[in-house]
Amino acid sequence: MKKWLSYSIIALLVIVLAACGAGNQSNSDKKTKQDTAQTSQAAFPVKVKDARDKEITLKKQPKKIVSLMPSNTEIVYALGLEKELVGVTSNDDYPKSVKKKAQVGDMNVNAEKVIALNPDLVLAHASSMGVSDEVFKQIESAGIPVFVVKDSTTFDTVYDSITQIGKLTGKTKEANQTIKDMKEKVASIEKKAKTISKEDRKKVWIEVSGAPEIYTTGKGTFMNEMLTMIGADNVAASEKGWVKFSEEQVVKLNPDVIIATYDADKNEIMKRPAWSSMTAVKEGNIEKVDQNKINRLGPRIVDGLEDLAKAVYPEVYNK
């Protein structure tokens, strides 16, 4: 009898302890789920200062986004926000599916169309502030937050823009991965650039606009930095910003390679009378690069850098 009673007490204790353990595990699971939910919610509200030095606050993750600049649009796609993107400009053409999105104008944005889409966030750009400042104010007066992305002049500022858009949209992880992938490609290109000797460095003329209004890019510009990164010298580096040159001025610079960033006619460049003695023309070193890759300061800028590298040094970067 005593033996049976002892077994009964032990069995009862096992049941009680098991129940307590299950209860503790259940409470632990609940706490884990609560912590996960709190962590997810902790990302918002977010506050980020834009190009106007204006602090933009978003209380929750935006579900509807309008982009007013192709470079912003490409960042949005890279972050996996295609469904959230409800409006773009008519200048947007990448990726191809963007053409199915509602269009709200070109460089001249139609504020009424933007407001009608009722977005949670509008991504504008500093380069268009001169023509769109009043449009931004009109959209903001409708209670829609407008974030003006800075006009990038270096790769680091492009990374900053991706980081900011990632934070505003709750896609920080995706933004970090995008930047990591970009930096790895840049590092690979710069590694090859170090193999180019001082004697083999090429002098490059970048033409962003053809005759009769010939323009190039000087120091303080993105393309000047890109030439340095691939191990080349910009023949117009003594000038600042975007500069107009005469045909005779370019002849004196005598570049080894001519790169056109617009839809140039190679034969037209070859046949310019004053340029017949130029090294680049005599050797036929005239190349075109996709202006969207090299001008749009988003994730594809690293592809533009690679294209530029291959155009200037095919023997180095095509290996």
Question: How far is the C-alpha of 163 from the C-alpha of 200, rounded, in Å?
Answer: 37
Task: Note the pLDDT tens digit of each residue in 145-157.
Answer: 999 999 988 999 9
Question: How far is the C-alpha of 228 from the C-alpha of 45, rounded, in Å?
Answer: 40
Check whether 138 has a pLDDT greater than 80: yes
Question: How far is the C-alpha of 163 from the C-alpha of 179, rounded, in Å?
Answer: 8
- CA proximity to 150, closest of 162, 138, 167, 134: 162
The DSSP annotation for 235-285 comes to: TTTTSBSEEEE-HHHHHHH--SEEEE-SS--HHHHHT-GGGTT-HHHHTT-
306: left (phi over 0), alpha (psi -120 to 50) or beta: alpha
How much helix, strand and coil, in percent to the nearest 5, is found in the chain? 50, 15, 35
Q: What is the mean pLDDT of residues 51-60?
A: 96
Which residues, including other chains, have CB under 8 Å from residue 167's CB and lie 6 or more apart? 46, 48, 175
Higher pLDDT among residues 86 and 35, named by residue: 86
> For residue 26, what pLDDT is reported?
46
Residues 187-207: b if buried by 16+ CB within 10 A, e if exposed: eebeeebeebeeeeebbbbbb
Amino acid at 242: W
Task: Note the pLDDT tens digit of each residue in 59-99.
Answer: 999 999 999 999 999 999 999 999 999 999 999 999 999 99
Question: How far is the C-alpha of 304 from the C-alpha of 173, rounded, in Å?
Answer: 24
> For residue 130, what pLDDT is reported?
78
Q: What is the mean pLDDT of residues 114-140?
A: 94
Q: What is the mean pLDDT of residues 200-207?
A: 98
Cβ neighbours of 291 (radius 10 Å): 15
Question: How far is the C-alpha of 85 from the C-alpha of 73, rounded, in Å?
Answer: 8
**18-32, 91-105, 236-250, 298-312: lowest mean pLDDT where?**
18-32
For residue 186, count CB atoms less than 10 angstroms from its CB and return exposed for 0-12, middle for 13-18, buried for 19 or more: middle
> For residue 43, what pLDDT is reported?
82
For residue 117, count CB atoms less than 10 angstroms from its CB and return exposed for 0-12, middle for 13-18, buried for 19 or more: middle
Q: Is the peptide bond before 314 cis (omega within 30 degrees of 0)?
A: no
> For residue 79, what pLDDT is reported?
98
Higher pLDDT among residues 205 and 34, named by residue: 205
Which residues, including other chains, have CB under 8 Å from residue 160's CB and lie 6 or more apart? 150, 152
Check whether 277 has a pLDDT greater than 60: yes
> For residue 39, what pLDDT is reported?
39
Task: Note the pLDDT tens digit of each residue in 279-291.
Answer: 999 999 999 999 9
Amino acid at 217: T
Question: How far is the C-alpha of 63 from the C-alpha of 139, rounded, in Å?
Answer: 17
CB 233 within 8 A of CB 204: yes
* Separation of CA 222 from chain center: 13
> pLDDT band for position 319 (50/70/90)?
confident
Supply φ then ψ for residue 97, to 5 degrees: -65, -15
CB 196 within 8 A of CB 231: yes
> For residue 219, what pLDDT is reported?
93
CB 77 within 8 A of CB 171: no
Q: What is the mean pLDDT of residues 203-228?
A: 95
Six token digits for residue 147? 């974030």
